[in-house]
Chain A
Amino acid sequence: MTISDLHALALARGRTDVLRALIGLCLLVPTLAAAQLEDLDNPGSVAAIQERAFRMRHELDLSVGVLPIDAFYVGLFAQVSYTAHFSDTVAWQIGRAAYNYAARTGLRENLERKFGVLPTAFEEVQFFLGSDLIWTPFHGKLSVMNRSVVHGELFLILGGTLFKFTNAFRPAVNVGLGGRVVLSQNVSFRLDLTDNVVVPVGGGSITLTNVLATTLSLAINFGAPE
């Protein structure tokens, strides 16, 4: 065997060694993925927030409601309102107007009959107008019996109302909570619960009073984008 033969053999062995080393390294590479597997076992907390399926734009509400809190009468009212939605979270209920029918309670009849209290002593809400800001931070989905899905939202209400009582006009600040169940892109049901803190102005009133209003609305949505 000549020197050149030995040299060629050494080169061949060297190439083989390098080749073996390369193959060995390639077989080791998948072990690097084990670190990722460990990460996948403990991925941390990741929450995906889905796009809203329904958007509001110009909302016209036809509503009925009740003023339940007064001990002497229960108010039943009909209301119309218009709300402009500027974004998914902020809206302005530009105007609402309601007319109220006051149904006497048994307590009032008792006081008038047994204790001679005059009917004029009981002030009732006749009608009211108002405007509100609406903030909608909550939007969600509800499964019904694990078979169907309903979309909805919850919102907070802050506004002002002007009440016409039996003897005087009085302003109020109202705060409240509301919820919406979406039936389609154009139709939804809305329930509002608001507390009106009525400022004692005129008619002999000297204390703040509360008028709680519960309103159920059929909401018609115009002009919402897809």
Chain B
Amino acid sequence: MTAVQERAYRMMHEIDVSVGVLPLDPFSKGLYAQGSYTAHFTDFFAWQVARGGYAYTVKTSLRSQLERDFGVLPPAFEEIQFFVGSDALFKPFYGKLSVVDKWDLHFEVFFIVGVTVFKFNVPDVALGRAFRPGVNLGLGGRLFLSKVLSLRLDVTDNVVIPLGAGQNISNVMAMTLSLGINIGATE
């Protein structure tokens, strides 16, 4: 017989202040800051109503070498400038962790499905080339620090849909670390 304990922490209105990285592109790495708001309807379901992030791009040594040794021009490398999105969160897992058998921590693990619109910096700023939508799927985890504060880590893959001629489907992976502020949660 298994007894499942009541959750010790409940989320209600969550405001996140985040930093993240876009690590997948071999030519540039994006570092970004993001803000978001999430409404938690039940223990299992939430809606990340809106998130917005601004990215700063760092060239990799591979890109520097291609520009220097092979004469590849910088406009050939597309970079993400900013993005906005919205997601549904499904939270089936909630747990407790003992730390060296002395303390306990509470956490949850959730799935993320959503949409994002990316703004790329391209020479031709026609709408179909600069702004592109993506479908994102991901996994996240939250460590509860108190009833009001938590740390959250999201890893999502954005499948970016090509709108213009000559574009291909591409993947943008985002890893986001957030400080979550929980407002209005009940006991």
Q: Are B101 and A143 in contact (CB under 8 A)?
A: no
Q: Are A89 and B100 in contact (CB under 8 A)?
A: yes
Q: Are B97 and A143 in contact (CB under 8 A)?
A: no
Minimal Cβ-Cβ distance residue in B for A69? B23
For B5, the chain A residues whose CB sits under 8 A away are 143
Given A107-B26, A115-B70, A138-B97, is A143 in contact with B4 using a C-beta cutoff of 8 Å? yes
Q: Are B94 and A142 in contact (CB under 8 A)?
A: yes
Q: Are B95 and A145 in contact (CB under 8 A)?
A: no
Shortest Cβ gap from A139 to chain B (Å) = 5
For B7, the chain A residues whose CB sits under 8 A away are 146
Minimal Cβ-Cβ distance residue in B for A105? B26
Q: Are B2 and A49 in contact (CB under 8 A)?
A: no
B169 touches A (CB below 8 Å):
no
Given A139-B98, A148-B4, is A71 in contact with B26 using a C-beta cutoff of 8 Å? yes
Comparing B50-58, B102-110, B111-119, B126-134, the segment that makes contact with chain A is B102-110
Q: Are A49 and B104 in contact (CB under 8 A)?
A: yes
Q: In the complex, what distance in Å separates the CA atom of A146 from the CA atom of B93? A: 8
For B4, the chain A residues whose CB sits under 8 A away are 143, 146-149
Q: Kindly state the interface size class of chain B when it binds its partner.
A: 20 to 34
A154 touches B (CB below 8 Å):
yes
For B101, the chain A residues whose CB sits under 8 A away are 49, 88, 139
B165 touches A (CB below 8 Å):
no
Q: In the complex, what distance in Å separates the CA atom of A145 from the CA atom of B109? A: 11
Shortest Cβ gap from B110 to chain A (Å) = 12
Minimal Cβ-Cβ distance residue in A for B94? A143
Shortest Cβ gap from A111 to chain B (Å) = 8
Q: Are A154 and B97 in contact (CB under 8 A)?
A: yes
Q: In the complex, what distance in Å separates the CA atom of A139 from the CA atom of B102? A: 11
Q: Which of B38-57 touch A at CB < 8 Å?
A: 43-44
Q: In the complex, what distance in Å separates the CA atom of A140 from the CA atom of B44? A: 20
For A139, the chain B residues whose CB sits under 8 A away are 97-98, 101
Q: Which 5 A-B pairs have the closest CB atoms?
A: A140-B97, A142-B95, A71-B26, A137-B100, A145-B92
Chain A positions near chain B (C-beta within 8 angstroms): 47, 49-50, 71, 88-89, 107, 115, 137-149, 152, 154
